[in-house]
Every structure is written in C-alpha cells, then in structure tokens.
C-alpha cells in the first residue's frame, strides 16, 4: 500500500460559527507506523466529529520512537499509533508515553489488550494462525503451536524471519506459557521443520503452501481475509483454497495468540486531553467498523462484527495473556530464536 511521509487531513465540511471555525484550526500530530490508506477514513471521521484536524506523520515504528526521543520536550507529537505489542512496549521503555486514565477506554477495551497504567490502548487485533492447503487436507495432529516443532513435520513449515515483530511476539507468548528452556526447544524444532529459509512477508507463506513448497504456513489472519474480499479472481480462489487452524483451542488450553495495533498519548504533548479523546474515538463503534472493514482486523470492542471474509475463517478463543507482558519480552524472544538458528 502507498506510504505517506506527511499528510494533514483537513475537515471537509464548512463550519458556520466562529467557535467551530476556531476548533477547525486545532490539530493533533499523529505519528503512525500503520501504512494503510484505508485509515484515512478514521482520521476524517474524527475531524468531522470534533473539528480537530489530524496531521499524519508516517514511518517505521522504531524510527518514530527514536524521533520522539530526539525531539524531547519540544516534540510536536501528540499520539503514537503503531502495530504490534512489542513496539508499544518499546515506546513504554523509551519513556515517551504518558500514563492516562479513561473510563471510556477501560470499559470498551479488554484488560489484556491495553497497558494497565493507560500508556497505550489496543485498537484492533489479528490472530497468528496455521494455514494449510484444503486440497491436501488439514495436517494430521496439528492443534497447538507446540505441535509445529514435532519431528514428524520435517520440511513442512513456512514462516517469515525471526526478527519480524509478529514472530517475536508469538515467541514471547510461548516463552511466558512454557518457560525459556521449552521455548528454545520449540524454536529449534520449528527451524528443523522449515521447508525453506525464512523469506518474504506473511502472504508469500500461504501462497507457497498452495504452490506445494511446504505443508503449513504461519501467518496473520488479515492477510488471508484480504484475498477473500478481493475482486481479483486468482486471489479469491486462493482464499477459498487455504484452510485455517486456530491453535491451542482445547479445553483448558490458553487460546490462539493475538497481536494488536495500539495507540498512546505522547508524554510531551501539549494537547493530551484532545489526544486521549482521539484514542477514545478510535474505540467507538464507527471507528471499530472501519478497522474491521478497511483492513480486515478484529475489532477489540464487543459487539462490533469482523468483516465477513474474516468471520468465514472460523471462530476461536484468544489467549488472554496481557499484550504488555509479551511485548516487553520480545527482545529476549528474539535472542532465543537466533540462538536456535532462526534467521
């Protein structure tokens, strides 16, 4: 998708009263690592509701965090919006996010998808699942992430590089669930079972499953759901062909790992009240529907339905592990993966 370096989104409708004209001149500076063009509707909706413009500065999450740090007390940033709990945990560690309290956000967003002290709030989620070729049938005996390390699956697994936050967050969740020794043994087993060296993003993994390169792909749900809503016949055919296993669904098991997009108020912001209002808006039903329908993510607010292409993949029970906990462990998780030979 097209990446923008700087974009100010003006309120389109004319405002009549002087007070509202003055409100229109207000703006929030949003530093975002989400690069989806469909998010434009989110920002336009907030402007229409509040009269506050969003000035959007996009970039890599680590670069944005470093930029806010280097800007210090003079940073113009009001809100940091990013993908992955590990990046949010890094922002917390960097000391750039303010502690906030919002009864609205506490009521709407489940506790495991936000920081306890209000430094960030999850706004959408995506499940990391096992995908397979329906034409060959579901792989026998695979029901948990832990099963992927079994020797019977030698040469069958397709997955992206260790350093990607989707994988380090998954690994951190396994580290918390099973301990360091078992987590490293799992990583070694997965490496031994790889069909090829890690390469590409999530989409090429399930494309390679259909091409016969490997038996199973580990990927996030929204990549596949996009194909389900595509007007491209080949993409729609691939969506119909790929099956999904939601891991760890057995009685008493922890559930499927989910990761988040989330936002926090920047500590140095001079507009903290408006910044928190913006995050509250992102948890509204309308905004949650835009997350769901614009990028095929799971809404985090109860009662908002996912896109039908996502729902058709199946229902599941999510791991309730707090995202701040596994996000903070991402650096250790990466070290374990690298020791195991996961490149």
pLDDT tens-digit profile of 159-214? 999 999 999 999 999 999 999 999 999 999 999 999 999 999 999 999 999 999 99
Q: Which domain holds residue 264?
A: 6-125+260-305
Question: What's the confidence (pLDDT) of residue 57?
Answer: 96
Together in a domain, 54 and 118: yes
Together in a domain, 18 and 33: yes
Question: What's the confidence (pLDDT) of residue 37?
Answer: 81
Together in a domain, 144 and 108: no
CA dihedral 87, 89, 95, 100 (to 10 degrees): 110
Q: Which two tokens stand for residue 169?
A: 């967050």
Together in a domain, 191 and 242: yes
CA distance 84 to 301: 18
Together in a domain, 239 and 288: no
Per the CB < 8 A criterion, the answer to whether 264 and 119 are in contact is: yes
Question: What's the confidence (pLDDT) of residue 25?
Answer: 53
CA distance 59 to 254: 34
Nearest CA-CA partner of 36 in 88, 82, 90, 87: 82
Beta bridge partners of 140: none
Is 98 a domain residue?
yes
> Low-confidence residues of the chain, pLDDT below 70?
1-25
Together in a domain, 109 and 192: no
For the chain, how many residues are written? 343
CA distance 90 to 145: 25
Together in a domain, 200 and 324: yes
Question: What CATH number is given to the structural domain containing 240?
Answer: 3.40.190.10
pTM: 0.90
Helix, coil or strand: residue 313 = coil
Question: What's the confidence (pLDDT) of residue 36?
Answer: 82
Per the CB < 8 A criterion, the answer to whether 30 and 79 are in contact is: yes
Is 310 a domain residue?
no
Together in a domain, 162 and 298: no
Outline where DSSP puts E strands in the chain.
6-9, 27-32, 53-58, 79-83, 121-133, 157-158, 216-220, 242-245, 258-265, 298-299
Is 147 a domain residue?
yes
CA distance 129 to 145: 9
- Phi/psi at 131 (nearest 5 deg)? -115, 150
Tell me which residue has tokens 């945990």. Answer: 89
Q: How many domains does the chain have?
A: 2
């Amino acid at each position: 998708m097209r990446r923008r370096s700087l974009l100010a989104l003006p309120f389109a409708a004319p405002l009549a009263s002087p007070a509202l004209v003055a409100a229109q001149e207000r703006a929030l500076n949003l530093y975002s690592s989400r690069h989806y063009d469909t998010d434009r509707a989110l920002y336009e909706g907030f402007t229409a509701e509040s009269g506050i413009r969003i000035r959007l500065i996009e970039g890599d999450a680590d670069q944005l965090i470093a930029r806010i740090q280097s800007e210090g007390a003079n940073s113009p940033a009001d809100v940091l919006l990013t993908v992955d709990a590990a990046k949010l945990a890094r922002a917390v560690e960097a000391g750039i996010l303010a502690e906030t309290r919002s009864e609205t956000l506490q009521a709407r967003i489940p506790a495991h998808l936000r920081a306890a002290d209000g430094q960030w709030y999850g706004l959408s989620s995506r499940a990391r699942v096992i995908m397979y070729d329906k034409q060959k049938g579901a792989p026998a005996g695979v029901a948990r992430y832990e099963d992927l390390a079994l020797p019977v699956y030698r040469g069958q697994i397709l997955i992206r590089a260790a350093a990607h936050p989707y994988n380090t967050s998954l690994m951190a969740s396994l580290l918390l669930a099973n301990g360091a020794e078992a987590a490293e043994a799992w990583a070694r087993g997965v490496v031994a079972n790889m069909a090829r060296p890690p390469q590409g993003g999530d989409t090429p993994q399930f494309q390679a499953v259909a091409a016969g390169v490997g038996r199973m792909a580990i990927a996030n749900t929204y990549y596949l759901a996009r194909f389900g809503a595509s007007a491209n016949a080949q993409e729609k055919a691939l969506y119909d062909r790929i099956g999904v296993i939601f891991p760890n669904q057995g009685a008493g098991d922890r559930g499927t790992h989910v990761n988040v997009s989330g936002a926090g108020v920047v500590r140095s912001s001079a507009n903290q009240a408006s910044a928190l209002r913006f995050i509250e808006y992102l948890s509204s039903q309308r905004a949650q529907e835009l997350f769901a329908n614009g990028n095929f993510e799971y809404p985090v607010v109860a009662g908002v339905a996912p896109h039908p292409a996502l729902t058709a993949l199946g229902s599941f029970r999510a791991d309730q592990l707090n995202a701040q906990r596994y996000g903070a462990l991402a650096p250790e998780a990466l070290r374990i993966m690298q020791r195991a030979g996961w490149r």
